[in-house]
């Protein structure tokens, strides 16, 4: 966890109680459906218990009634009742299986949305330290397990409890000695089932973690497939994947071994109890302690009695798997965003664009070295400012503090005299347009990506922004123009084309403050010149910050700030800084000689 996110560790009992309340709160919107689901579960158990009693009555009536015709008539009535019970049981089971699963899926959907929305709120500091594959595993696999627990947990407990109590009472009423013998075996079966179920759960938890590792490996390899191929490292990536895959296979093998022992043991125990009842029951029949009808009922009830053992083991599996997922879910949900709206934060109206940094220091962690040290500067409204300097001196970090992607460790960042921490994040970020060095486009059409900057933009406005970024011509040359699907991360476009689309997306947003982080780094010379002209036109009337390694792209900036590890070393126009013969002049001469 990011050090900024650490909080005092809560008392374990308080944490458990809070999480239990949170877990149960997801049932609240579905209480009528839950009640109906449990009622149907009770019907399933009740009909299962009624069938052996009906069989007992039918067999005893057949043996006791002297009139065969009358006996057959009554047996037919009992048979009809049993068919009706089976129909009720089928309908109740259908409701439980369908509506119960729907309830679980709805709750899972709420959980997934809540976790996704929370991850969206967490700052760059959190995402810098998280692996996407592990987050995906929590949002998918973990929450599926929770949905299964939400659905099956109450049902299995209700059906299992009713069956074990009902069947035990029936057995005890029929023959106490034989009932004591059968019920005495149940704890051994339960212990056996829980032991191997626990081993299966440990394997499942390990498999879940390993799936996250496999997701990470796949994501890295597929997202970086061009790098892989350019280095001819397909075999290396295959070996890395195979190593993770082999670990997963070993874990699954262990789980399947425990599952096999569990299955064989439960089947064997069922057969053992059946044989015990047959042998001991036959002896009781010979001793006249039990009649044939009661022995048949005994056998039917024993089969019912074994079902709760299976359900208990299943519930134990669901509980462990679901609660493991819930713990992992809550680990993320309990991380409070370290960047959030302050109480009383106000919306930032269309700002003039003055930016002030007052003695700003920034560290990525409390014990990490300072990336920025006591930086103070003022950028006037509408000013075109360039940030230059060696890699790692904090140019991108400085710009990231303005829209509060990161929080200054000390000092303050102000827009139009207002601390950015005193305005709402949504209004602040609507007022700041950022074209980042790491180009990212979403899967979909060109128009959909451009409208990400302003979803309600008209076609004419989209085209105008594309023209301003020198992107319209190449867009119109695509197979479907603005409706062309560009693939995942814009894979069907060149680097320069992708960069120009991100610039157009920022232009369409029409913010008061523009930040370009190496925004022209992927453009060829001709496209760069066109975009520079567009930048000059669009910079009028708004504050613009440009980070550039190629100093030729910022020669006409109103002011150039030279950033070093100690802060702003120089500032001025291109000509003034060249004349000063300082750090900027040396950087410029070094690039010119290349």
Mean pLDDT of the chain, nearest integer:
82
Pick the closest to residue 435 from 496, 504, 337, 374 (CA basis): 504
Which segment of 210-219, 259-268, 456-465 scores lowest on mean pLDDT?
210-219
Task: Fill in the DSSP letter of residue 142.
Answer: I
Which segment of 101-110, 297-306, 309-318, 352-361 scores lowest on mean pLDDT?
309-318
Q: What is the mean pLDDT of residues 258-262?
A: 81
Partners of residue 414 on adjacent β-strands = 356, 419
Provide the residue ranges of all domains of the chain, joining segments of one domain with +: 14-210+254-333, 342-431+513-594, 439-510
Please check the confidence at residue 17 and state whether its pLDDT lies above 90: no
- Mind listing the pLDDT tens digit for each residue in 186-202? 888 878 877 887 787 77
What per-residue confidence (pLDDT) applies to 396?
A: 86
What per-residue confidence (pLDDT) applies to 519?
A: 60
Burial class (CB in 10 A: 0-12, 13-18, 19+), 534: buried
Do the strands 418-419 and 410-415 form a parallel or antiparallel pair, or are they unpaired?
A: antiparallel
The Cα–Cα gap between 523 and 2 comes to 36
Q: What is the mean pLDDT of residues 350-355?
A: 88
What per-residue confidence (pLDDT) applies to 193?
A: 78
Contact 196, 260 (CB under 8 A): no
Q: Report which of residues 30 and 340 the model is more confident about.
A: 30
- Mind listing the pLDDT tens digit for each residue in 282-339? 888 787 777 778 888 888 888 888 788 778 777 877 887 788 788 888 888 888 778 8
Q: Given pLDDT bands bounded at 50, 70 and 90, which one contains residue 7? A: very low
Pick the closest to residue 205 from 262, 248, 261 (CA basis): 248
Q: What is the mean pLDDT of residues 228-234?
A: 72
CATH value of 342-431+513-594 in 3.30.565.10, 3.20.20.70, 3.40.50.300, 3.40.50.720: 3.40.50.300
CATH superfamily of 439-510: P-loop containing nucleotide triphosphate hydrolases (3.40.50.300)
Q: Given pLDDT bands bounded at 50, 70 and 90, which one contains residue 365? A: confident
Pick the closest to residue 98 from 143, 139, 26, 37 (CA basis): 37
The Cα–Cα gap between 582 and 587 comes to 9
Q: Given pLDDT bands bounded at 50, 70 and 90, which one contains residue 378? A: very high
Calculate what percentage of the chain has a pLDDT beyond 90: 11
- Mind listing the pLDDT tens digit for each residue in 150-178? 888 888 888 888 988 888 888 888 888 88
| Two domains, one topology: 14-210+254-333 and 342-431+513-594 | no
Q: Given pLDDT bands bounded at 50, 70 and 90, which one contains residue 92? A: very high
Q: Given pLDDT bands bounded at 50, 70 and 90, which one contains residue 91? A: very high
Q: Given pLDDT bands bounded at 50, 70 and 90, which one contains residue 379? A: very high
The first and second tokens of residue 517, run together, are: 């982080």
What per-residue confidence (pLDDT) applies to 8?
A: 46
What per-residue confidence (pLDDT) applies to 47?
A: 92
Q: Given pLDDT bands bounded at 50, 70 and 90, which one contains residue 538? A: low
Long-range contacts of 561-564 (CB under 8 A, 24+ apart): 561/377, 561/385, 561/386, 561/387, 561/388, 562/388, 562/389, 562/587, 563/387, 563/388, 563/389, 563/393, 563/394, 563/395, 563/398, 564/389, 564/390, 564/393
Q: What is the mean pLDDT of residues 198-209?
A: 76
> Which alpha helices (DSSP H) does 224-291 contain, by range?
225-230, 234-286
What per-residue confidence (pLDDT) applies to 85?
A: 92
CATH 1.20.1560.10 fits 14-210+254-333, yes or no: yes
What per-residue confidence (pLDDT) applies to 95?
A: 92
Q: At what angle do helices 292-333 and 31-64 cross, to 10 degrees?
A: 170
What per-residue confidence (pLDDT) applies to 358?
A: 93
Pick the closest to residue 341 from 454, 427, 453 (CA basis): 427
The Cα–Cα gap between 289 and 291 comes to 7
Contact 357, 379 (CB under 8 A): no
What per-residue confidence (pLDDT) applies to 5?
A: 41
- Mind listing the pLDDT tens digit for each residue in 389-431? 888 888 888 988 998 888 889 999 999 989 999 999 888 988 8
């Amino acid at each position: 966890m990011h050090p900024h996110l650490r909080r005092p560790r809560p008392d374990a009992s308080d944490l458990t109680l809070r999480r239990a309340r949170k877990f149960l709160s997801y049932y609240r919107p579905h209480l009528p459906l839950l009640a109906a689901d449990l009622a149907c579960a009770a019907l399933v158990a009740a009909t299962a218990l009624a069938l052996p009693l009906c069989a007992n009555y039918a067999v005893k009536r057949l043996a006791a009634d002297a009139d065969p015709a009358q006996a057959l008539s009554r047996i037919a009535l009992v048979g009809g009742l049993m068919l009706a019970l089976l129909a009720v049981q089928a309908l109740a089971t259908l409701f439980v299986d369908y509506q119960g699963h729907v309830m679980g899926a709805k709750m899972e959907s709420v959980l997934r949305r809540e976790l996704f929305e929370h991850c969206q709120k967490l700052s760059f500091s959190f995402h810098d330290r998280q692996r996407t594959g592990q987050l995906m595993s929590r949002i998918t696999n973990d929450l599926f397990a929770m949905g299964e627990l939400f659905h099956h947990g109450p049902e299995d407990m209700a059906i299992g409890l009713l069956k074990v109590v009902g069947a035990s009472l029936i057995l005890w009423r029929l023959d106490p000695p034989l009932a004591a013998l059968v019920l005495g075996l149940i704890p051994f079966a339960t212990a056996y089932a829980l032991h191997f179920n626990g081993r299966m759960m440990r394997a499942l938890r390990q498999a879940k973690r390993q799936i996250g590792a496999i997701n990470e490996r796949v994501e890295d390899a597929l997202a970086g497939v061009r790098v892989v191929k350019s280095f001819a490292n397909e075999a290396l990536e295959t070996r890395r994947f195979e190593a993770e895959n082999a670990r997963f296979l070993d874990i699954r093998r262990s789980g399947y071994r425990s599952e096999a022992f569990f299955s064989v043991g439960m089947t064997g125990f069922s057969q053992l109890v059946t044989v015990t009842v047959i042998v001991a029951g036959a002896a009781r029949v010979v001793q006249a302690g039990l009649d044939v009808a009661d022995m048949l009922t005994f056998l039917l009830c024993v089969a019912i009695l074994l079902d709760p053992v299976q359900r208990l083991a299943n519930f134990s599996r669901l509980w462990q798997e679901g609660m493991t997922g819930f713990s992992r879910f809550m680990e993320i949900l309990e991380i409070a965003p370290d960047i959030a709206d302050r109480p009383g934060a106000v919306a930032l109206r269309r700002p003039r664009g003055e930016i002030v940094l007052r003695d700003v220091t920034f560290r990525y962690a409390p014990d990490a070295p300072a990336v920025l040290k006591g930086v103070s500067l003022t950028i006037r409204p509408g000013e075109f400012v360039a940030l230059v300097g060696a890699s790692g001196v904090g140019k991108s970090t400085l710009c990231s503090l303005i829209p509060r992607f990161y929080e200054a460790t000390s000092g303050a960042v102000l827009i139009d005299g207002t601390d950015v921490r005193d305005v709402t994040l949504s209004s602040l970020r609507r007022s700041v347009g950022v074209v980042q060095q790491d180009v990212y486009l979403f899967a979909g059409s060109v128009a959909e990506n451009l409208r990400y900057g302003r979803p309600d933009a008209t076609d004419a406005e989209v085209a105008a922004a594309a023209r301003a970024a020198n992107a319209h011509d190449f867009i119109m040359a695509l197979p479907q123009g603005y409706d062309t699907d560009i693939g995942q991360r814009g894979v069907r476009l060149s680097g320069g084309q992708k960069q120009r689309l991100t610039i157009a997306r920022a232009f369409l947003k029409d913010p008061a403050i523009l930040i370009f982080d190496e925004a022209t780094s992927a453009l060829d010379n001709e496209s760069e010149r066109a975009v520079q002209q567009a930048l000059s036109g669009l910079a009028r009337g708004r504050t613009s910050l440009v980070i550039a390694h190629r100093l030729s792209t910022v020669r006409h900036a109103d002011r150039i700030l030279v950033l070093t590890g100690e802060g702003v070393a120089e500032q001025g126009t291109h000509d003034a800084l060249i004349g000063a013969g300082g750090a900027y002049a040396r950087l410029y001469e070094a690039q010119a000689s290349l």
